[in-house]
Amino acid sequence: MASKAVAKAAAGTVQKISTKYTVQSTGLWEKLRASLALDANRSNGVPLNPYNRYPAPGQNDPLKYDDPVTLPAGDLADNPYWKRDARRNYPRLSVVSQAEQVALLTVGSAAAPRVELIGEEGSKALVAAQEQGKQGGLANYMESAGVEAAKRVLEATGGLPPLPSGTSMSNAEGKWDVHKYKLEEDQSYGEDYPCRTFA
């Protein structure tokens, strides 16, 4: 009973092909199409261009088109694509060449420059150190001035070597130690489950 009601409702919504806003064949070709088609009331889907595609493609004057401005993405000044490319924005390796390393040991860095090499003398020494590093490399520099460079590095760091990750000096005991993890008292899992929560 319900299927008959659905069929009646569907039959009532079928539109004649003459009332559709599509381009259709006429004359003999329309009779041939209607006789060969599975459903004669189906249109080919091509819209009537003068009525349903207004303005038509290419009708507007391209010189009158206003490009929508989106800031800051649409600003061309100092806005290359690689800066705003989020898909390839992965961390890149930081590499220090041997020439740069020799220059850092000889002249110092911007954070800790050598006092005797400030101003024009520092810039000249930086160029000379980079050239020396390019020609001889780090090994030749360490052979010639390795002891003095090591002393300067140790003086800058307070005589301490670089720390491995996670190590620090505990003030209470005065010893070097790795950060210790402590188990939380309230565990989210029971004692039978082999998973613990650390603080």
Average pLDDT, the chain: 75
The span from the CA of 198 to the CA of 182, in Å, is 6
Residue 179 DSSP one-character state: P
The 10s digit of each residue's pLDDT in 150-187 is 777 777 666 766 565 556 665 566 666 666 667 677 76
Give the side-chain half-sphere CA count within 13 A for 24.
19
Which pTM does this prediction carry? 0.36
With 0-12 / 13-18 / 19 or more C-beta atoms within 10 angstroms meaning exposed / middle / buried, residue 133 is buried
The 10s digit of each residue's pLDDT in 94-138 is 788 888 888 877 777 766 666 666 677 777 877 887 787 788 888
List own/partner pairs for 43-47 with CB under 8 A and 24 or more apart.
43/17, 46/22, 47/21, 47/22, 47/23
Domains of the chain: which residue ranges?
Answer: 16-56, 98-156
Q: At what angle do helices 98-107 and 120-156 cross, to 10 degrees?
A: 90
The 10s digit of each residue's pLDDT in 35-70 is 999 888 888 888 777 666 777 777 888 888 777 777
Handedness of CA 16, 18, 23, 25 (dihedral sign): positive
